[in-house]
Amino acid sequence: MCGIAGILTPSIDLRSEKPLIESISKTLKMRGPDAKGEYVTAQTALIHRRLCVIDVEKGSQPMRFGKYIIVYNGELYNTQQVKAELETFGYKFDTHCDTEVVLKAYDKWQEESVKKLNGIFAYAVYNERDNSLFLARDRIGVKPCFYSKKGDLFAFASRISSLLCIPQIKPIVDIEGLNEIFMLGPAKTIGKAIFKDISELPPAHFLKYKDGKATVLQYWKLEAKENNESLNEAIEHTHELVKNSIERQLVSDVPLATFLSGGLDSSIISKVAADYYKNKGKILNTYSVDYTDNDKFFKKSLFQPNKDSDYISLVSDAIGSIHHNIILDNSSVADALFEATVARCVPGFADVDSSLLLFCREVKKNFTVCLSGECADEIFGGYPWYHRKEILFEECFPWARSTKARRSILKPGFLKNGEEYLQNAYSQTVALTSYLDGESPLEKRMREMFMLNLNWFMQTLLARKDVMSMESSLEVRVPFCDYRLVEYAYNMPWEFKALDGREKGILRKAFENDLPYDIVWRKKSPYPKTHNPLYFDCVCRLAKQAIEDKSCPLYEMLNVSAVYELMKSPDSMTEPWYGQLMQTPQVLAYIYQIYVWMKNYNVVFDI
């Protein structure tokens, strides 16, 4: 994986802007610590930082072929298939890296080439003859891509902070941005980047820029299609697609491991990877995360019915992996909230972010690539809200059904249109749903839930995984995000998906002979969070710092007395802020992250 950025402008001679180009490159260093490269002319600068994974010696960027120059961030999982097709047209290859394949595919098929790619990516191809740019992002949105157009300047980057290095691009936030933070956060609307001057290239879209005009087009979307498979065929098909996706993503020229929580998704990935390694005479390494004294303070809940630690060794022993359990210090998790916020460039996911950042740093000491289980819950109906009929048909985001908790910390009258903004975001997503004629209300609603989870909950988790792992210079791949699997799951009948009345029922059935019974039929448990009261004390201290700084604009936005009330008990917030992952300690951490973001990026408010 890598970091990319670029500037196109006719009004500045970029050859004389070496300090600017260097400052942008530095913001991308952790995404690519192994090498850097630049292509600079009077009107164009392309910047690349490289984390070497495939063809370490020959895959340097920017890479040129004829009139085209590419900067690429990602991993292609059908490299050999696309390469073989190109070779039938006479193309020859000097490397075995996917960058060269993406570049020559563009030379051959232009914008249609992106449809041939299976992988996670964001890349730009510059045409130096007509001074045009093609910018593309993968179908699911695993790899980030942001851009800004200010007058005759166009810029793009893997990180928001890279764009904020450019003097013309200002850290301005308007009412829309504040609604994103307080009404939707830590989620955000696809296409938005909180800052007024910056946009996100949506997943499954590409952008064409020429002569000062930027055009954004969609190249892929989920469409409802008939699925006439029998149950046994669907079980076999699910197993085949999942296994194939995992095995495709095990290709690496550097050490690779898997994340293992003891849950179904990571256990499937680790099992397939372990078998793959055994066939090559290797032993898989697996990693899990926990917190100091977490067993002592664990609290059972609807969303977290059991501890991961009870199951991890069961899987590791069964698959024969070398397992590493990383124990995080609670104070360190709180302290890392600052760095996690700066890395994300917007208010983040509280300790769900900071703990992953610290975890990835430990893994990076021995490995450069890991596989992780994100996306399975979204596409196979893993979350409780898929199965609770009393909330299933409510016209709202199921993980944030009320704004009561959010309103409680805001000053009365602040963001008066917040609920309308929230409802519009929900409605616009549901409107994207594709149905089949004659489908039952339940099947239609499950398609809507699929779209809501894919475009919101999963995007939040993917952004978190990319930023925190890449801030640690660790590449994390997500096999359940293979678009073929997403398409297939979208068109699977709900009675199959929820086989035996269980969340991810068909996925369990497909792999019941591969894993121990207790793992296959374990109740879903989310990413582990700390239950230690020490962490709550730490975030109370940090939140207190945030709300007592009268020089920060946040002070005028919050109901300070209400925030103090939250500090009285880790259970004081009775409604979830954002699904199962944000309760009172995480909300206090989120308030602190908003404060850090405002101060660190010198945010200016246009309200």
Regarding predicted confidence, which is higher, 298 or 538?
538
Q: Which residues pair with 123 in a beta bridge?
A: 72, 136
Q: CB–CB of 57/107 below 8 Å?
A: no
Regarding predicted confidence, which is higher, 51 or 362?
362
Confidence (pLDDT) at 354: 97
Question: Tens of pLDDT along 154-211?
Answer: 999 999 999 999 999 999 999 999 999 999 999 999 999 999 999 999 999 999 999 9
The answer, yes or no, to whether residue 295 has pLDDT greater than 80, is: no
The model's confidence at residue 53, banded by pLDDT at 50, 70 and 90, is: confident
Residues 593/428/119/273 CA torsion (nearest 10 deg): 70
Confidence (pLDDT) at 529: 77
ω into residue 441 within 30 of 0, thus cis? Answer: no
Question: What is residue 374's three-state secondary structure?
Answer: coil
Closest by CA to 370, choosing from 312, 454, 289, is: 289
Q: What would the mean pLDDT of 72-97 be, rounded to a whole number?
A: 96
Question: What is the percent of the chain where pLDDT is above 70?
Answer: 97
Confidence (pLDDT) at 398: 94
Instruction: Extract the runs of DSSP E, i.e. beta strands, from 405-487.
Output: 475-477
The answer, yes or no, to whether residue 57 has pLDDT greater than 70, is: no
The model's confidence at residue 59, banded by pLDDT at 50, 70 and 90, is: confident
The model's confidence at residue 556, banded by pLDDT at 50, 70 and 90, is: very high
The answer, yes or no, to whether residue 355 has pLDDT greater than 90, is: yes
Look at the chain and count its residues. Answer: 607
Question: Where in the sequence numbering do the catalytic residues fall?
Answer: 2
Q: What would the mean pLDDT of 115-125 be, rounded to a whole number?
A: 97
The answer, yes or no, to whether residue 243 has pLDDT greater than 60, is: yes
ω into residue 10 within 30 of 0, thus cis? Answer: no
Closest by CA to 355, choosing from 273, 294, 270, is: 294
- The stretches of 312-366 forming alpha helices (DSSP H) are 312-319, 330-344, 350-364
d(C-alpha 39, C-alpha 88), whole Å: 31
The rounded mean pLDDT for the chain is 94
Confidence (pLDDT) at 298: 60
Strand 2-8 and strand 153-157: the pairing is antiparallel
Reduce the secondary structure of 222-258 to three states and give it as a string: CCCCCCCCCHHHHHHHHHHHHHHHHHHCCCCCCCEEE
The answer, yes or no, to whether residue 296 has pLDDT greater than 80, is: no
Confidence (pLDDT) at 309: 72
Q: What does the DSSP 8-state code read for residue 453?
A: I
The model's confidence at residue 310, banded by pLDDT at 50, 70 and 90, is: confident
Q: What would the mean pLDDT of 289-310 be, rounded to a whole number?
A: 70
Q: What does the DSSP 8-state code read for residue 456?
A: I
Regarding predicted confidence, which is higher, 459 or 305?
459
Closest by CA to 242, choosing from 267, 278, 276, 272, is: 272
Question: Tens of pLDDT along 569-600?
Answer: 998 888 888 887 789 999 999 999 999 999 99
The answer, yes or no, to whether residue 528 has pLDDT greater than 90, is: no
Q: What would the mean pLDDT of 331-352 be, rounded to a whole number?
A: 97
Q: What would the mean pLDDT of 355-365 be, rounded to a whole number?
A: 97
The model's confidence at residue 300, banded by pLDDT at 50, 70 and 90, is: low
Question: Tens of pLDDT along 499-520?
Answer: 999 999 999 999 999 999 999 9
d(C-alpha 565, C-alpha 403), whole Å: 18
Question: Tens of pLDDT along 414-424?
Answer: 999 999 999 99
Q: CB–CB of 59/50 below 8 Å?
A: yes
* Entry pTM: 0.95
